[in-house]
Amino acid sequence: MTIIGILSDTHITAPTADFNRNTARAFADCDIIVHAGDLTDMTILEAFRGKEVHAVCGNVCNSRTKADLPEMKTFVVDGFLFALCHGANGPRHNIEERLFDQYPEADCIIYGHTHNPLCHRVASTLYINPGSFKGTGRYGAPGTYAIATTSKTGITAKIFDLPRS
């Protein structure tokens, strides 16, 4: 069994005390961290030292981050194929269709960009969008993230709210 912490759309230029506190709480038990883009700057990943990290760049990342991180990637955890991207280079309304077309063999597809958290299956593919780790600001919405767990029977995941500051 592997526990995977998933976040996206942090939209900060450097780790803050709130960010470090929230990541420490949210991902303390995680073996792997997945960042689905718009981390803005590579220094954000410093919060996850000592953990295996998979990350992609997003549309608001700085030039260094865009040079250092791919737009899309795949990786395997416990025999399951994960596909990861930020927004699949197109409109928001059909991100999942485009991602499935690119990764039909993926067991789990993780993406960000929309700031709308979701976790659902289409046939045998699990789709996870952790939402925005930084609260959206709309109506006081807190930030969100996801935790996925692999087991012999498959992958499960759940969305969580960050505590309000």
Q: What is the DSSP string of 100-138?
A: HHH-TT-SEEE--SS---EEEEETTEEEEE---SS---G
pLDDT of 142 higher than 90: no
Structural element, H or E, at residue 21: helix 17-27
pLDDT band with cut points at 50, 70 and 90 for residue 156 = very high
Q: Which two three-digit tokens encode residue 55?
A: 């990350």
Provide the residue range defining the domain that includes 53.
Answer: 2-161
Residue 46 binned pLDDT confidence (cut-offs 50, 70, 90): very high
Distance CA 109, CA 154 (A): 14
Q: Is 165 in a helix, a strand, or coil?
A: coil
CATH of the domain at 148: 3.60.21.10
What whole-number distance in Å separates Cα of residue 116 and Cα of residue 136? Answer: 10
Question: What pLDDT shows up at residue 165?
Answer: 59
Pick the closest to residue 48 from 13, 78, 22, 83 (CA basis). Answer: 22
Could you count the other beta carbons within 10 Å of the beta carbon of residue 66? Answer: 14
Number of domains in the chain: 1
In this predicted model, what pLDDT tens digit does every residue of 76-104 receive, in sequence order?
999 999 999 998 676 666 888 888 899 99
Whether residue 28 has pLDDT greater than 90: yes
* pLDDT for position 94: 81
Look up the pTM and report it: 0.94
